[in-house]
Amino acid sequence: MSFSEDCIFCKIVQGQIPSAKVYEDEKVIAFLDLSQVTKGHTLVIPKRHEENVYELSEDSAKAVFTAVPKVAKALKAAFDPAGINMLNNNGKAAGQTVFHYHVHLLPRYGKGDGFG
Ligand code: 5GP
Ligand code: ZN
C-alpha cells in the first residue's frame, strides 16, 4: 500500500489517528467527517494515497464507486435522510483541503439542515 507521510487520511487508514468507521474493505474505507455538515456526513476514500481525480487509479475508482452505494444505503438505514448529496472537490480552487481523494456523502433532511 502506498501512503503519504503527512496525509491525515493515510494516518486514518493506518489506524494512527482514530475515526468513526462506517465501512471498510480491502481497498476502501469510509468514516464520519469530523465536521458533520449534516448528520451522518461521511467520507469514502481509497486506502491508497491518490491526491485527486486526476491521480485516481482505475482500481481505486472501481473500489470507491462500488463502495459508495453500499455506504449510501447504510446511511439511509441509519439516519433516514430525505435525500443525499455526493460531492468531490479536486484542487484548492475547488475547495479541496485534504489532498487524498475522497467522496463526501451528505445526508439531507430538508430546509435548514446545514448545507445549501
Ligand atoms: P475537502 O474540503 O478536502 O473536500 O474535505 C475534507 C474533509 O475532511 C472536511 O470536510 C474535513 O472536515 C474532513 N477532515 C479533516 N480532517 C479530518 C480528520 O482528522 N478526521 C475526519 N474524520 N475528517 C477530517
Ligand atoms: Zn493519503
Residue 23 lies in a domain: yes
- What's the rounded Cα separation, in Å, for the pair 9 and 103? 12
- Domain with 89, as residue range(s), is 8-108
The CATH number linked to 40 is: 3.30.428.10
| pLDDT class of 29 with cuts at 50, 70, 90 | very high
Task: Examine residue 3 and state whether it is found in any structural domain, yes or no.
Answer: no
Summarised one tens digit per residue, pLDDT across range 9-25 is: 999 999 999 999 999 99
The reported pLDDT for the residue numbered 96 is 98
**Is 82 contained in some domain?**
yes
Confirm or reject: Cβ of 95 under 6 Å from ligand 1: yes
pTM for the structure as a whole: 0.98
The percentage of the chain sitting over the pLDDT mark of 90, rounded to a whole number, equals: 96
Q: Which element (helix H / strand E) includes 105?
A: strand 103-108
Q: With bands split at pLDDT 50, 70 and 90, how would you rate the model's confidence at 116? A: confident
For residue 88, what is its C-alpha cell? 468531490
Q: How many Cβ atoms are within 10 Å of 115's Cβ, its own excluded?
A: 14
The answer as to whether 17 is a domain residue is: yes
| Dist CA 63 CA 50 (whole Å) | 13
Q: What separation in Å is there between the alpha carbon of 26 and the centre of ligand 1?
A: 22
pLDDT average, residue stretch 83-101: 98
- Answer yes or no: is 1 within a domain: no
**Domain count of the chain?**
1
Whether 104 is a known active-site residue: answer no
Distance 77 CA to ligand 1 centre (A): 23
